[in-house]
Amino acid sequence: MAVEHLLSQWQTARPRLQHSGASSCLHTLSPPSRGPGLAKRLRYVEQMQIVDTELRDVKLIRPELHGDDRGWFAEIFNAPRFEAAGLPGVFVQDNQSHSTRGVLRGLHYQVRQPQGKLLRVLAGEIWDVVVDLRRNSPEFGHWAAFELHSPTPDNGVEMLWVPGGYAHGFLVLSETADVLYKVTAAYDPRSERTLLWNDPELRIPWPLDALGAPPSVSAKDAAGLPLVSADTF
């Protein structure tokens, strides 16, 4: 089945934040709606949709979704369709994280075995950030942020594709959040790196005011390096 590429009003309607130095952008998805049941109000799509973002190689993916008032069914991954769309058809590992409100993970990447990540939120809501670390990219040092959440009546099922060469992390906005990752390379602790989440050069506006408290960051992530000192690609 054909893959529909959407550059669309969906993207252009999103607010963009600009700072001096590294460029940035923010994509905001609609919050969950109240009222009738989820299954009855989900937006059903007949094709897998791929939405371009401000970072040209980072994509939002909306899988084909079928449903009625009994519920819904979605084909989350189909190797031939992904390959036809220029996305990976092979993933070597699935990872899942469970985090509580205020947990900030990242910004993580691997230098010798870069991991492409296909991720979606199974439950809860996160503020997800990616940073381009490829020095030959015109978007080197640019970042994008996305509010991602479990299926809602307005957005259905959405996934984020982050290629290798990007640092990635997220902040949990809901009481808890479960995030599933499919990755293109196995975990390699020797090449794991952390970009400092609050690097003043990047000026990422993490929505900490919504938490009412500092984020919960691991010791390893707190010791991340700023972009000027970090290993890049």
Instruction: Please give the positions annotated as active site.
Output: 108, 181
Beta strand 159-162 with 93-100 is: unpaired
- Distance between CA atoms of residues 210 and 222, nearest Å: 21
Under 8 Å CB-to-CB from 69, ≥6 apart: which residues? 37, 39, 40
Could you check whether the bond before residue 118 is cis, i.e. omega within 30 degrees of 0? no
Closest by Cα among 28, 40, 56 to 158: 28
Q: How many CA atoms lie within 13 Å of 167's alpha carbon, on the beta-carbon side? A: 31
Partnered with residue 99 across adjacent β-strands are 177
Under 8 Å CB-to-CB from 167, ≥6 apart: which residues? 106, 107, 108, 109, 130, 131, 133, 193, 195
Q: How long is the chain?
A: 233
